[in-house]
Amino acid sequence: MAYEFISTRKVEFSETDMAGLVHFSNYFRYMETAERDFFESLNLPLITTSPDPLQGWPRVRAECKFMAPLRFGDTIKIHLVVKAVKLRSIDYQFRIYRMQADGPAIQAGKGHLTTIFTQLAADGSLVSQELSASIRAAITEAPASVLAQKSLS
């Protein structure tokens, strides 16, 4: 069972403003990228479109604390940790780090997402669903020591 994942990527030009700094909204995209990579690493679908019904993970809570700027070309690591697995939802903690060739990683942000497993109903509404056995078998809550980590190991 997995409770953490690290995704690595470079900051793209299109993610920055005129000063070359990453726009704050992209921190949320980085968290979602790490979530997608985490699900792929476990061979779990993040969204199911067929056979019917459509199932997915809308966000019911998203927050981010910005701690250091990110710039075009920076290599970043997004550390996803599963904070809680509930009957119908998963809470994630994210730490975003700017990597340096000649020193320790610098924490650029810390965020949280709460996602609810849902199914699209015939009337177009989303209906929360209990997590499947395959999800519960693959994803577990992280130990407190992992949640408390202050730096990238």
- 77-101, pLDDT tens digit by residue? 999 999 999 999 999 999 999 999 8
Tokens of 45: 């679908």
At residue 153, the pLDDT reads 64
Predicted TM-score (pTM) of this structure: 0.92
Q: Which residues, at least 6 apart from 119, have a Cβ–Cβ distance to it below 8 Å?
A: 53, 54, 55, 126, 127, 129
Q: Which two tokens stand for residue 153?
A: 């190991």
Q: Which domain holds residue 87?
A: 4-147
pLDDT at residue 152, rounded to an integer: 80
Tell whether 44 is covered by a domain.
yes
Q: What is the pLDDT of residue 49?
A: 81
Residue 123 and residue 113: Cα distance in Å, rounded?
27
> CATH number of the domain that 16 lies in?
3.10.129.10
Domain membership of residue 152 (yes or no) is no
The pLDDT of residue 77 is 97
Write out the DSSP string of 92-127. Answer: EEEEEEEEETTEEEEEEEEEEEEEE-EEE-TTS-EE
Residue 153 in domain = no
Number of domains in the chain: 1
In-domain check, residue 23: yes
| pLDDT under 50: residue ranges of the chain | none
